[in-house]
């Protein structure tokens, strides 16, 4: 398995409010990858996203053990998100400069022949399998609700004036329930994590074509960032690609 995550400030924003995590090279830590996209003025978004990635990674790394059950893995991810949420919310209420801060979070934990996704907000996880791309997560956003209710199309959602309004984020409510997914993996699967700085600039098929043509995850990540900047770079851009070589036996 080979995983790479990179982040770029883009061409419009003054600072980068995205954060990410992946396990250090040659470590025995869990195969965990996280992307978070912060929000809030005075660099509060940057603080929120960093807290989220640090807290979630620390909790999962210290609580995941061998021979853990599927339900225990899901509960571990849920608890990690809850702890991060509480810390961000507490800090936002304690300091005026952090009031109202929050962050999205999308985490991919590889365990056995599966990847477990923990998700809050509108950062995304995709599965690229053979020549197809599938969005695994559903955006917690106003326009996504409008699409699901049939009031607008996906094409209209991409240019909707309220496309950046999210309905769920860490640090904005006490009782936060993340989406938890379990996906069975196949040989040569690719999991892609990204902030909306990528998906607001590129169509899904463009993402897929770049990833498959680049072959190597590091080159694919850089090409995606470069192309998002070429098309405007209106937000911070964070992209993670994890390539699964062979799936072992159960």
Whether 235 maps to a domain, the answer reads: yes
**Over 70: is that where the pLDDT of 200 sits?**
yes
248 falls within a domain: no
Q: Does some domain include residue 250?
A: no
**Angle, CA of 131, 4 and 227, to the nearest 5°:** 65
The answer to whether position 249 is within a domain reads: no
Domain limits for position 129:
2-243
Residue % of the chain over a pLDDT of 90: 81
Residue 167 lies in a domain: yes
Is residue 172 in a domain? yes
CATH number, domain at 25? 3.60.40.10
Bridge partners of 135? Answer: 126
Q: Tell me, what's the pLDDT at 250?
A: 52
Residue 249 has pLDDT above 70, yes or no: no
- Total domains in the chain come to 1
141 domain-assigned: yes
């Amino acid at each position: 398995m080979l995983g790479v995550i990179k982040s770029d400030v883009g061409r419009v924003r003054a600072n980068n409010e995205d954060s990410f995590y992946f396990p250090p090279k040659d470590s025995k830590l869990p195969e965990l990858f996280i992307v978070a996209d912060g929000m809030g003025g005075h660099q509060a978004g940057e603080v929120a996203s960093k807290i989220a990635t640090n807290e979630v990674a620390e909790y999962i790394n210290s609580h995941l053990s061998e021979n853990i059950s599927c339900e225990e893995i899901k509960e571990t991810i849920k608890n990690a998100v809850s702890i991060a949420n509480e810390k961000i919310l507490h800090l936002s209420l304690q300091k005026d400069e952090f009031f109202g801060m929050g962050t999205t979070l999308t985490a991919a934990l590889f365990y056995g022949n599966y990847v477990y996704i923990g998700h809050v907000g509108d950062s995304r996880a995709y599965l690229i399998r053979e020549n197809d791309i599938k969005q695994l997560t559903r955006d917690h956003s106003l326009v996504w609700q409008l699409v699901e209710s049939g009031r607008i199309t996906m094409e209209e959602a991409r240019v909707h004036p309220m496309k950046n309004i999210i309905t769920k984020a860490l640090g904005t409510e006490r009782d936060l329930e993340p989406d938890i997914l379990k996906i069975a993996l196949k040989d040569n699967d690719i999991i892609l994590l990204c902030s909306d700085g990528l998906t607001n600039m590129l169509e899904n098929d463009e993402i897929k074509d770049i990833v498959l043509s680049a072959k190597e995850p590091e080159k694919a990540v850089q090409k995606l960032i470069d192309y998002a900047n070429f098309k405007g770079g209106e937000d911070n851009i964070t992209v993670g690609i994890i390539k699964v070589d062979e799936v072992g036996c159960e």
